[in-house]
Amino acid sequence: MADQELTIAELAARTGFSVRTIRFYAGMGLIPSPEVRGRLGLYDARHVARLELVSDMQGLGFTLSAIEGYLARIPIDRSPEDLALHRALLAPWLPEDPETVDRAELDERTGRTVDDDELSRLVALGVVHEDRDGTLQLTSSDMLTYGLSLLDAEMDFEVQLACKQIIERHTGALATELFALFRDSVLREFRERGHPPELRDRLLALMERLKPLTVQGVVTNFQLAVNRAIRDSVPSERPYERHSDRELPKTGSPS
């Protein structure tokens, strides 16, 4: 594919971006300028790789400004193989594509009849998005399972919503710090060593394991943290242990 030459129409068909968008991105410097032969602009694997990276970042919710800033740190002549490393870093965390369903399909997916009140709660929890025309979009299968578990919990909905917000806030901060650590340590080593192929292959293999390793670490450490929080919430001394022997009631018959 390295020597493959594509017209802009072929590049659009390959990547899913429109011709107009590709030209716009080229003007922004997100992709290299095409090689011009006569009046024909030709694109190659580098353009495909950078546009695929842009698509992945859009899938994770990056703004165009954030994408521009990220790609600005990747030299424009970087090889498709090196760009694959950046895509691999993002790939484990790419969300499922939202799934459009109607009420009957939602009932089938949940295994129950979802009434209007439950639907409004699922919308508030971010599990389901409801368009103005009533079309429903499932965020992901995992989110649906999580949302139903919250609804089935015997607690006030405001508490359920607060739980979700607390989890999102702290996991968001965790994800930001972990990503920065990986980028500034592992990827920096790769850059400073001149992008050796053997290290790139090792990093690609590591990134395939990154998601399960991270999830396992989060779950395990969260369980330990909850145990500590429970222990810390219980007084370390019983009431009678706070008194000296002189203050304890004396036993025996009075003199």
Domain boundaries, the chain: 1-93, 99-154, 173-228
Which contacts (CB < 8 Å, 24+ apart) does range 32-38 have?
32/76, 32/77, 34/8, 35/5
Residue pLDDT, tens place only, 115-137: 999 899 899 888 888 888 778 98
Q: 130 to each of 63, 101, 119, 148, 252, how far by Cα in Å?
A: 23, 10, 9, 17, 75
DSSP state of 100: E
Distance CA 69, CA 176 (A): 16
Evaluate whether 129 touches 136 at the Cβ level (below 8 Å): yes
Which two three-digit tokens encode residue 102? 């109607």
Pairing of strands 128-130, 136-138: antiparallel
Classify residue 22 by burial, with Cβ atoms within 10 Å: 0-12, 13-18, 19+: buried
Higher pLDDT, 106 or 189: 106
Give the model's pLDDT for residue 247. Answer: 54
Give the model's pLDDT for residue 142. Answer: 82
Evaluate whether 11 touches 43 at the Cβ level (below 8 Å): yes
Beta carbons within 8 Å of 252's beta carbon, 6+ residues apart: none
Residue 38: CB atoms within 10 A of its CB come to 5
Beta carbons within 8 Å of 31's beta carbon, 6+ residues apart: 22, 25, 46, 47, 50, 51, 76
Give the model's pLDDT for residue 231. Answer: 85
Look at residue 128 and give its three-state secondary structure: strand
Distance CA 142, CA 78 (A): 36
Question: Given 3.90.1170.30, 1.10.3470.10, 3.90.1150.30, 1.10.1660.10, which CATH number is that of 1-93?
Answer: 1.10.1660.10
Give the model's pLDDT for residue 96. Answer: 66
The model carries a pTM of 0.55
Mean pLDDT value of segment 98-121? 88
Which two three-digit tokens encode residue 99? 């799934």
Higher pLDDT, 166 or 246: 166
Higher pLDDT, 198 or 37: 37
